[in-house]
Amino acid sequence: AQTVTQSQPEMSVQEAETVTLSCTYDTSESDYYLFWYKQPPSRQMILVIRQEAYKQQNATENRFSVNFQKAAKSFSLKISDSQLGDAAMYFCAYRSAWNNNAGNMLTFGGGTRLMVKP
Amino acid sequence: DGGITQSPKYLFRKEGQNVTLSCEQNLNHDAMYWYRQDPGQGLRLIYYSQIVNDFQKGDIAEGYSVSREKKESFPLTVTSAQKNPTAFYLCASRPHKDSPEKLFFGSGTQLSVL
């Protein structure tokens, strides 16, 4: 079974600065996907960024980028130029690439609460 | 506006009581999901349904039941067999053609035991 671990329960960052959220995972599969989701105070989860394990290039979405280290099974999220609206819970998640019932399921980490100081 | 509506926002359950959480979507999505969120544990899948009149157990289905009689609706019943029901419950949906991670989430229901 796959596991996803987020070792930082809380992080804080000054507005306009950069912060990195950590995520490690454990799997025996070679083909999979990794994601970061944001859960703002409204509590509706939003997909932030997606990384395919077979791609060496790190995914980027505007101010959000990842550092994907496949051998180390590490998948960190970097938020540049932090804004007050970035304050939220952030969840790392894993999905197998195999197209079966298990492939439909996401495995989530425990979350990191990000606070942004004005 | 299209979206997912969960109700109620807060729900209290007495010992031995069954309670039902509502989830309605007007996005015409085929698949619907129920997740449980506990502090520090992330989201765990309870049940999911890919088509009407069909659903599958997730990782933590014990003590829960669902139905999918209409495409728009996927209610979750927390039965008295669920001994630790206090949690935040999130419903989600997605069209079949989209990747499994492209979920649309509701705003959740916080369930507490009296």
> What average pLDDT does this structure show over A56-81?
96
Do B44 and B52 meet the contact criterion of CB atoms below 8 Å apart?
Answer: no
Separation of alpha carbons B68 and A113, rounded Å: 34
Q: Across chain A, what does the average pLDDT equal?
A: 92
Chain A hits for B44, CB-CB cut-off 8 Å, are 108
DSSP A17: S
Is B40 in contact with A105 (Cβ distance < 8 A)? no
What's the confidence (pLDDT) of residue B96? 77
Give the count of beta carbons closer than 10 Å to the beta carbon of residue B44. 18
Is B101 in contact with A106 (Cβ distance < 8 A)? yes
What is the per-residue pLDDT across A14-34, written as a single tens digit (0 to 9) for each?
999 999 999 999 999 989 999
pLDDT by position in tens, chain B (length 114): 669 999 999 999 888 899 999 999 999 999 999 999 998 888 999 999 999 999 999 989 999 999 999 999 999 999 999 989 999 999 999 887 778 788 899 999 999 988
- Does the pLDDT value for residue A103 go beyond 50? no
Chain A hits for B40, CB-CB cut-off 8 Å, are 9, 110-111
What's the confidence (pLDDT) of residue B31? 92
Based on DSSP, count helices (H) and strands (E) in chain A, helices before strands.
Answer: 0, 12
Contacts (Cβ under 8 Å, ≥6 apart) of B106:
A44, B3, B4, B5, B6, B23, B90, B91, B92
B100 lies within 8 A of chain A by CB: yes
Q: Look at phi and psi of residue B107 and say left if phi exceeds 0, alpha if psi is from -120 to 50, else beta.
A: alpha
The type of residue at A84 is L
- Does the pLDDT value for residue A3 go beyond 80? yes
Kind and range of the H or E element at B31? strand B31-38
Pair of tokens at residue B3: 């979206």
